[in-house]
Amino acid sequence: MSTVEVLAPLPALVVQIPVNEGDKVNAGDTVALLTVMKKETEVKAETAGIVMAIVAKAEDVVDAGAPLLTIETDSA
C-alpha cells in the first residue's frame, strides 16, 4: 500500500471537501471544491483508494501545492 497526497492545483479558497475519512474513492471522483475569483475548480482523485486524512476544511485559504487530503492506495 502507498499513500498519495491530493494537492491544491492553485491558490484558492476551499469551498467543500465532499468526502470523509474512511470513504472509498475512485480515480476521477471529486474530492475537493475550490474557488478563486468566483470560479470553481473541482479537484479529482488521481487514484482509487481510501481517504485516510483530511487536511483542509471549508473556508481555508490554501496555496498552490498545499495538501488537501491523503488517500491510501492498494498499489505499491
14-73 pLDDT, tens digit per residue, is 999 999 999 999 999 999 999 999 999 999 999 999 999 999 999 999 999 999 999 999
Cβ neighbours of residue 71 under 8 Å, at least 6 residues apart?
3, 4, 6, 25, 31, 45, 47, 49, 50, 51, 52
DSSP assignment, residue 17? -
Domain residue spans of the chain: 2-73
| Whether pLDDT at 1 is above 70 | yes
Q: What is the DSSP letter of 38?
A: T
59 grid coordinates: 473556508
**CA–CA dist 18, 3 (Å, integer):** 19
Q: Which CATH class is domain 2-73?
A: mainly beta
